[in-house]
C-alpha cells in the first residue's frame, strides 16, 4: 500500500485527489480496504461506526466577483422554486397515501394479532394437553379393566354352566339313589306286609288283587319301553344337528377369543405407535412454530449508491490503459466521491425486533455463546452480506465450515488479551488502528494465511477484520459480572453495526472492506461474525469478505455449505416443515383410525363371543335330545323291570300265603328287618339328595348372579368406551388448536410482511418528501435571495439613473425638481414642474414643488417624464442593463 493510504484502518492520513481508488486497488500490503477500524463511541449513546477516512486535498477556490442575477435568472429561479414545491407537494400526497396504506396494514396486523392472541389464549397449555392425554389413557385403562371384567364374568358363566351341568348329574344320581332306596323300601315294606299278611292269613285276597294289578302294570311298562325305544330312534336323527350346533358355538367362541387376543395386541401396538406419532406431531408443530417465528430482515442499498458501486466495478474490470494518468485520477476521484456521497443513504435500513424476539427473554453470555446461537448469527450476517452483494452485482460470499469458526477464534483472542482502551491508544500513537492485530495474525497463521509483519502488527495493522467497538465497562454487566444480550438484541446490534459500516459519511474504507467491490475478479469467502466483551469494550467483529488471494494455499475450507437463512433455502425449509407437520398429523389420524378399527373389531368380536356363549349355555342347558330320550327309555325299562319284579313278587306272595305259619313268622321278621334297613337307607339317600340339591340351587342362583355380572360389566364397558371416545375427541380438539394457531400466525406473518413493505414504502416516501422539501426550500431560498439581490441592484440602478437625470435637468435649467421616492425612501426619479408666479395681497409668490411618493417596481421601466433628457437616460439605463445581461451570460 502507498504511504498515503497506509493507515486507512484507523488514523487515515492524506489521500490526494486522483490517487484514491487506484492506490487502493493496486496495493496488497497492510490495511487493505475492508480491514479498516470503526472508531469507538461511549455508551449509552447509540453506537456509530465513525471512521477516519482519507483526506482529499484540493486547491482552494479563487475569490470571484458575485454579480446580481438578471431578471431572466430570477424568473428561472422562481420557476424552479415553483416546480420543486409542486414536486414536494406531490411527494407529500404520496406520503399521505403511504400513511393510509400503513394504517390499513397496521389495522390488518392488529386484527391478525388479536386473532393470534385470542387463539393463544384459547391454546391449551402443555399441562392441559398432558391432562387430556392422561384422561384418554385413564379412560382407556378403564376400558381395559372393563374388558377384563367382562371377560372374567363371561369365563365365570362358562365355568358355572359346566358346574351346573355336573351338579345336575350329581343330583340326578342322588335322585336315582333315592328312587332306588324308595323302591327298595317299598319292596321291603311290601314284602314285610305280605309276609305279615301271610302270617295272619288276612292278605290273600289283596295279594291276588295286587297280583292282577302287577300283571297290568307289567304290560303297560312293557308298552312304555317299546314307545321310548322308538323315541330314541327319532332322537338319533336330531342328535347330529344338536352336536353340530354345539361345535359351531364352541368354534365361534374359540375364533372370537383368538380374534379378541389379536385385536387387543394390535390395539396395544397401535397405542404405542400413536404415542410415538403424537410426539412427532408435537415436535413438528413446535419446529413449525419456531421456524415461522424466525426473523429474516432485508437490507436495501440506496439506488444511487448501487449505481456508483456498479460503475466502480465496471471501471475496475475495464481496460483503462488508453487513459492518461490524469484521466484515470479524475475518473477514480469521481467514482470515489460518488460512493462516499451516496452511501450515507444506506443508513435508512433499520432493524426492528419482532414480537417473538421481544418475548424471548433468554439472555446469553456474549463471550460464551452456545454453538447453535453462534451459527445462527453467522447465517444471519452472511445472508445480509449476500443480499447487499447481489444488489451491487457481485456473487455471494462463499459460506463454509471455516466461516463458522474464524471470527469466533479472533474474538476469543480479544477476550484472552482483555483488549483495552490503553492498548488501542498505544496503537494509535504509533500511527496505527484499533485492531488487536497480534491475535488476528495468530488465528490467520493457524490456517497458513498471510499476516502483517511485526512492525505493522505492533500498531494494529492486519488484513482481515472490520469492527465496531463500543465503550462498555462492567457497569453494563449483570450482577454476576457477565455481559449478556438476548438473541434479538444481538441480531439488532449486528444488523445496525453492519449498516453503519456501509453508510458512514466519507467512509469508503469500511464500505469497500465489507462488500469487497474493488476486487470483483476475486472469490469472496465469508469469514464469519463474532462478539467479544472485555473490561473496556464491547466489540462486534466482522470478517465478512476474505478474498481468495488471502486464502490461496491455506487450509481454509472452501467447500460451500448451505445457508439455512437464505431466502430460497428458508422458504424451502418452511415448506418442508409445513409438509412434515401435515404428514405427522396424517400419521396420527391413520393410527387413530387403526385404534378405532380395533375397538370396533373388539366390540364385534366380544358381541360374537357373548352370543356364542349364550347359545352354547342354552344348548347345554337343553341337553342332548338322544341323551334325554335314552334317559326316558332307561326310566321306562326300570319301570318295566320293576313291574316284572312286582309281578313276580305278587305271584310269589300268592304262593307264599300257602307256606307254613312258622316259616311265615320267620319270613315276616326277616322282611320287616329288611324294610327297616331300607327305610334307613332311604333317609340317608334323601339327606344326600338334599345336600346335592342345595348345591344345585346355590349354583343356579350363582349363574343368575354371574349373568347379571356379565350384563353389568358390559354396561360398564360401554360407558368406559364412550368416555374414551369423548376424551379422544377433546384431546383432538386441543391439539387442533395448535394447527389453527399456526395458520393464524402464518396470516399474521404475511400481514406483518405487508406492513413492513408498506412501512418501507412509507419511509421511502417520507425520505423522498424530505429530499424534495429540502430542494423546494433550497430553491425557494435561492429564488428569494436572488430576487432580493436583483431588487437591490435595480434600486441602485434607478437611484443612479435618477441622480443622473437630476443633474441633466439642472443642467438644462430646471430649478424646480420633484423627487419620486419608492416605498423605502429611495429617490428613484425626478420630475421638472412649472413654477407659477403671481401676486397676492400685493406680494409675489412661487408655488412650492412637492415630493412625489411612489412604489418603484424593479421589474418596471423608469417612469417616462416626457422630457428628452429622461428618454435619453432611459435609453442609457437599457443599454447598461443589456451590457450587464451579456456579461452575466458570458460569466455563466
Mean pLDDT in residue range 261-288: 84
Question: For residue 23, what pLDDT is reported?
Answer: 32
Question: For residue 516, what pLDDT is reported?
Answer: 94
Summarised one tens digit per residue, pLDDT across range 402-411 is 999 999 999 9
pLDDT at 261 over 50: yes
Question: Are the C-beta atoms of residues 756 and 98 closer than 8 Å to each other?
Answer: no
Mean pLDDT in residue range 601-629: 85
Mean pLDDT in residue range 183-190: 87
H or E element: which one contains 653?
A: helix 625-656
pLDDT at 35 over 80: no
Question: For residue 846, what pLDDT is reported?
Answer: 44
Question: For residue 375, what pLDDT is reported?
Answer: 97
The C-alpha cell 399456526 sits at 742
pLDDT at 54 over 70: no
Report the predicted TM-score, pTM, of the whole model to 2 decimal places: 0.44
Higher pLDDT, 257 or 810: 257
Please state, in angstroms and rounded to a whole number, the distance separating the CA atoms of residues 629 and 228.
7
Question: Are the C-beta atoms of residues 41 and 434 closer than 8 Å to each other?
Answer: no
Mean pLDDT in residue range 498-522: 94
Q: 845: pLDDT confidence band, cut at 50, 70 and 90?
A: very low
Least confident of 30-39, 320-329, 360-369, 495-504: 30-39
pLDDT at 706 over 60: yes
pLDDT at 415 over 90: yes
Share of the chain above pLDDT 90, in %: 40
Q: 20: pLDDT confidence band, cut at 50, 70 and 90?
A: very low
Question: Are the C-beta atoms of residues 539 and 436 closer than 8 Å to each other?
Answer: no
Phi, psi of 713 (to 5 degrees): -65, -40
- CB atoms closer than 10 angstroms to residue 143: 23
Q: In terms of Cα–Cα distance, which of 402, 677, 435, 393 is closest to 540?
A: 435
pLDDT at 277 over 90: no
pLDDT at 669 over 70: yes
- Greatest mean pLDDT among 256-265, 583-592, 697-706: 256-265
Question: Are the C-beta atoms of residues 53 and 507 closer than 8 Å to each other?
Answer: yes
Q: 851: pLDDT confidence band, cut at 50, 70 and 90?
A: low
Written as one string, the DSSP assignment of 62-91 is PP-PPPPPPHHHHHHHHHHHHHHHHHHHHH
Three-class SS of 144-201: HHHHHHHHHHHHHHHHHHHHHHHHHHHHHHHHHHHHHHHHHHHHHHHHHHHHHHHHHC
Summarised one tens digit per residue, pLDDT across range 305-314 is 999 999 999 9
- CB atoms closer than 10 angstroms to residue 704: 11
Please state, in angstroms and rounded to a whole number, the distance separating the CA atoms of residues 415 and 531.
10
pLDDT at 34 over 70: no
* β-bridge pairing 837-840 and 484-486: unpaired
Question: For residue 494, what pLDDT is reported?
Answer: 97
Question: Are the C-beta atoms of residues 407 and 529 closer than 8 Å to each other?
Answer: yes
Question: For residue 37, what pLDDT is reported?
Answer: 40
Please state, in angstroms and rounded to a whole number, the distance separating the CA atoms of residues 334 and 317.
17
Decide: helix, strand or coil at residue 350: coil
pLDDT at 105 over 80: yes
> Chain-wide mean pLDDT for the chain?
81
pLDDT at 17 over 90: no
Mean pLDDT in residue range 72-96: 92
pLDDT at 855 over 70: no
Question: For residue 660, what pLDDT is reported?
Answer: 59
Question: Are the C-beta atoms of residues 249 and 612 closer than 8 Å to each other?
Answer: yes
Question: For residue 36, what pLDDT is reported?
Answer: 39
Summarised one tens digit per residue, pLDDT across range 370-411 is 999 999 999 999 999 999 999 999 999 999 999 999 999 999
Amino acid at each position: 500500500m502507498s504511504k498515503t493510504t497506509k493507515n486507512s484502518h484507523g488514523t487515515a492520513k492524506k489521500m490526494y485527489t486522483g490517487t484514491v481508488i487506484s492506490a487502493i486497488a493496486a496495493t496488497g500490503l497492510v490495511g487493505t480496504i475492508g480491514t479498516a477500524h470503526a472508531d469507538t463511541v461511549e455508551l449509552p449513546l447509540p453506537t456509530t461506526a465513525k471512521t477516519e477516512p482519507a483526506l482529499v486535498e484540493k486547491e482552494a477556490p479563487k475569490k470571484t466577483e458575485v454579480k446580481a442575477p438578471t431578471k431572466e435568472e430570477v424568473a428561472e429561479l422562481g420557476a424552479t422554486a415553483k416546480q420543486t414545491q409542486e414536486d414536494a407537494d406531490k411527494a407529500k400526497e404520496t406520503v399521505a397515501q403511504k400513511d393510509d396504506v400503513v394504517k390499513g396494514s397496521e389495522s390488518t396486523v392488529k386484527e391478525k394479532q388479536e386473532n393470534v392472541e385470542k387463539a393463544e389464549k384459547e391454546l391449551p397449555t402443555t399441562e392441559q394437553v398432558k391432562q387430556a392425554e392422561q384422561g384418554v389413557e385413564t379412560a382407556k385403562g378403564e376400558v381395559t379393566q372393563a374388558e377384563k371384567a367382562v371377560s372374567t364374568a363371561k369365563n365365570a358363566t362358562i365355568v358355572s354352566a359346566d358346574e351346573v351341568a355336573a351338579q345336575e348329574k350329581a343330583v340326578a344320581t342322588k335322585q336315582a339313589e333315592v328312587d332306588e332306596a324308595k323302591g327298595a323300601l317299598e319292596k321291603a315294606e311290601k314284602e314285610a306286609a305280605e309276609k305279615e299278611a301271610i302270617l295272619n292269613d288276612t292278605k290273600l285276597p289283596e295279594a291276588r288283587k295286587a297280583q292282577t294289578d302287577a300283571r297290568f302294570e307289567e304290560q303297560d311298562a312293557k308298552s312304555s319301553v317299546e314307545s321310548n325305544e322308538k323315541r330314541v330312534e327319532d332322537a338319533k336323527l336330531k342328535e347330529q344337528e344338536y352336536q353340530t350346533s354345539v361345535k359351531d358355538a364352541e368354534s365361534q367362541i374359540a375364533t372370537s377369543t383368538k380374534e379378541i387376543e389379536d385385536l387387543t395386541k394390535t390395539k396395544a401396538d397401535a397405542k404405542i405407535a400413536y404415542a410415538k406419532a403424537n410426539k412427532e406431531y408435537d415436535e413438528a408443530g413446535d419446529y413449525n412454530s419456531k421456524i415461522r417465528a424466525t426473523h429474516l430482515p432485508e437490507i436495501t442499498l440506496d439506488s444511487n449508491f448501487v449505481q456508483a458501486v456498479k460503475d466502480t466495478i465496471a471501471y475496475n474490470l475495464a481496460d483503462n490503459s488508453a487513459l492518461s494518468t490524469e484521466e484515470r485520477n479524475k475518473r477514480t476521484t469521481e467514482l470515489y466521491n460518488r460512493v462516499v456521497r451516496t452511501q450515507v443513504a444506506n443508513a435508512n435500513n433499520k432493524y426492528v425486533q419482532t414480537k417473538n424476539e421481544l418475548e424471548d427473554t433468554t439472555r446469553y453470555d456474549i463471550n460464551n455463546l452456545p454453538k447453535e446461537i453462534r451459527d445462527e448469527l453467522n447465517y444471519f450476517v452472511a445472508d445480509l452480506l449476500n443480499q447487499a452483494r447481489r444488489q451491487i452485482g457481485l456473487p455471494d460470499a462463499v459460506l463454509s465450515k471455516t466461516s463458522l469458526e474464524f471470527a469466533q477464534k479472533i474474538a476469543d483472542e480479544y477476550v484472552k488479551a482483555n483488549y483495552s482502551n490503553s492498548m488501542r491508544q498505544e496503537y494509535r500513537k504509533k500511527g496505527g488502528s484499533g485492531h488487536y492485530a497480534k491475535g488476528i495474525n495468530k488465528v490467520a497463521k493457524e490456517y497458513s494465511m498471510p499476516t502483517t509483519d511485526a512492525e505493522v502488527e505492533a500498531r494494529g495493522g492486519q488484513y482481515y477484520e472490520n469492527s465496531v467497538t463500543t465503550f462498555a465497562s462492567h457497569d453494563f454487566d449483570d450482577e454476576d459480572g457477565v455481559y449478556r444480550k438476548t438473541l434479538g438484541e444481538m441480531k439488532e446490534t449486528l444488523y445496525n453495526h453492519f449498516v453503519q459500516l456501509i453508510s458512514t459519511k466519507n467512509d469508503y474504507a469500511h464500505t469497500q472492506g465489507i462488500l469487497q467491490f474493488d476486487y470483483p475478479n476475486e472469490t469472496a469467502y465469508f469469514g464469519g461474525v463474532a462478539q467479544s466483551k472485555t473490561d473496556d469494550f464491547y466489540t462486534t467483529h466482522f470478517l465478512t469478505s476474505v478474498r481468495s488471494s488471502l486464502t490461496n494455499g491455506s487450509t481454509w475450507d472452501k467447500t460451500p455449505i448451505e445457508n439455512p437463512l437464505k431466502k430460497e433455502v428458508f422458504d424451502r425449509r418452511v415448506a418442508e416443515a409445513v409438509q412434515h407437520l401435515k404428514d405427522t398429523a396424517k400419521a396420527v389420524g391413520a393410527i387413530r383410525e387403526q385404534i378405532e378399527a380395533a375397538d370396533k373389531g373388539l366390540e364385534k368380536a366380544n358381541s360374537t363371543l357373548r352370543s356364542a356363549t349364550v347359545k352354547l349355555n342354552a344348548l347345554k342347558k337343553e341337553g342332548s335330545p338322544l341323551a334325554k330320550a335314552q334317559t326316558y327309555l332307561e326310566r321306562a325299562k326300570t319301570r318295566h323291570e320293576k313291574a316284572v319284579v312286582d309281578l313276580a313278587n305278587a305271584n310269589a306272595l300268592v304262593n307264599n300265603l300257602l307256606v307254613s305259619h312258622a316259616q311265615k313268622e320267620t319270613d315276616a321278621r326277616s322282611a320287616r328287618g329288611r324294610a327297616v334297613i331300607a327305610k334307613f337307607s332311604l333317609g340317608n339317600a334323601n339327606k344326600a339328595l338334599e345336600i346335592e340339591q342345595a348345591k344345585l340351587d346355590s349354583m343356579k342362583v350363582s349363574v343368575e348372579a354371574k349373568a347379571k355380572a356379565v350384563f353389568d360389566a358390559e354396561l360398564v364397558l360401554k360407558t368406559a368406551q364412550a368416555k374414551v371416545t369423548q376424551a379422544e375427541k377433546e384431546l383432538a380438539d386441543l391439539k387442533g388448536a395448535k394447527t389453527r394457531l399456526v395458520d393464524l400466525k402464518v396470516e399474521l406473518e404475511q400481514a406483518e410482511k405487508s406492513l413492513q413493505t408498506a412501512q418501507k414504502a412509507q419511509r421511502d416516501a417520507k425520505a423522498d418528501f424530505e429530499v424534495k422539501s429540502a430542494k423546494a426550500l433550497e430553491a425557494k431560498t435561492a429564488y428569494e435571495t436572488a430576487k432580493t439581490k436583483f431588487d437591490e441592484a435595480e434600486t441602485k440602478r434607478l437611484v443612479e439613473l435618477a441622480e443622473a437625470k437630476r443633474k441633466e435637468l439642472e443642467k438644462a435649467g430646471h430649478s424646480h425638481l420633484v423627487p419620486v421616492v419608492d416605498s423605502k425612501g429611495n429617490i428613484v426619479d425626478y420630475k421638472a414642474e412649472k413654477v407659477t408666479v403671481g401676486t397676492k395681497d400685493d406680494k409675489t409668490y412661487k408655488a412650492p414643488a412637492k415630493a412625489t411618493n411612489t412604489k418603484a417596481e424593479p421589474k418596471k421601466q423608469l417612469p417616462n417624464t416626457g422630457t428628452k433628457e429622461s428618454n435619453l437616460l432611459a435609453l442609457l439605463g437599457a443599454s447598461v442593463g443589456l451590457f450587464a445581461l451579456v456579461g452575466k451570460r458570458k460569466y455563466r
